[in-house]
Amino acid sequence: MLRRWSRAVTPISKFGSHSHLNFVKDATRQGYAGVAHAPMMEEKPQPPVVNLDKMFWSKPCSLALSRDSPLRVEEPDYQGIKRFMLKLMMFYSKQSKSIRGANVVYRRIVSQVDKPPIYEVFNLEKTFKTTFSLLVLHMWLCLRRLKQDGKEGVEFGQYLYEIYNHDVELRVSKAGVNLLLTKWMKELEKIFYGNIVAYDTAILPQAKPGDFSNAIWRNIFSEDGSSTQDDAASQSVQALARYARREVSCMTLTDKEALYSGNFMFTSLKHENRSGKGPQ
């Protein structure tokens, strides 16, 4: 699976590198004597040091948004002739409501994965590979919770997966891969299912204690397919594994209404960074 990663992602990651190399070559042709003195820069305050060992130990809780939260997304409540016409157009059908809900859920995933905090906290470089891997991890968190609701959850999960798949296709195209797009999408689909199986297996009660963190390392941190964790990344790997395990429990505690409407938020990494506590 990891060797397949290098085949699928390497062409994507190469885009934009040539212009950078040309710039470096042009810059090195200049003599040092022709370079102006750099102006004195005021020192900027450094961000607080993240103590990963003290993060994600707090007791799991529901991720549902409160009723008065400004972040809630409510179903449109049309009245009169407009509501009647929308009913005729199946706007209020179970399928339509599920599709709208799945769109909101996916926006919650993207909000967590696309913003800087998750890369800053876990010391990750924001590349196509890491973003894709984090998307898959959060998709797994949602799909795993949905499976607990049986057939209804599986059907909702299918809508969510279709939205995710369309978004990944757009991301691949944006990265510059237009030729053989279908081929790359098939490779990424294999990686997606490989990661999902790895997480499902590693979190089983009979799994070994280090299995889940090893899966996190292989799927998100490892660049060359090595199964041996890098000592320098060990703290980040363990912290991300704790975060994911805690989110699994939080998702289980999140009620069905909040889940299917998308009215929940993943744990705020900024908040954890400020107020994280040690083992309890």
Q: Residue 168: is its pLDDT beyond 90?
A: yes
Give me the mean pLDDT over the 36-46 stretch. Answer: 46
Tell me the two tokens of residue 29: 């042709």
Can you give the pLDDT at residue 200? 98
In the predicted model, what is the mean pLDDT of residues 241-249? 97
The CA distance from 223 to 239, in Å, is 19
Helix ranges (DSSP H) in the chain: 2-14, 17-28, 80-88, 94-114, 116-121, 128-147, 151-174, 181-202, 211-216, 234-253, 256-261, 269-275
pLDDT at 211: 96
For residue range 181-199, what is the model confidence (pLDDT) as tens digits? 788 899 999 999 999 999 9
Predicted pLDDT at 8: 58
Q: What is the pTM of this model?
A: 0.80
Give the tens place of pLDDT for each residue, 106-156: 999 999 999 999 999 999 999 999 999 999 999 999 999 999 999 999 999
**137 in Cβ contact with 220 (< 8 Å):** yes
Among 1-10, 93-102, 224-233, the range scoring the smallest mean pLDDT is: 1-10
Q: Is the pLDDT of residue 19 over 60?
A: no
Q: What is the spatial distance between Cα 97 and Cα 87, in angstroms, rounded to a whole number?
A: 12
What does each C-alpha distance from 35 to 20, 21, 31 come to in angstroms?
Answer: 20, 20, 7
Position 108 scores a pLDDT of 98
Q: What local confidence, expressed as pLDDT, does residue 83 receive?
A: 79
188-216 burial: b if 16+ Cβ within 10 Å, else e: beebbebbbebbeebbeeeeeeebbbbbb
The H-or-E segment that residue 40 falls in is none
Residue that the structure tokens 């003290």 belong to? 54
Cα 179 to Cα 168: distance, rounded to the nearest angstrom? 15
Higher pLDDT, 233 or 109: 109
Q: Which of 133, 116, 118, 120 is nearest to 168 (CA)?
A: 133
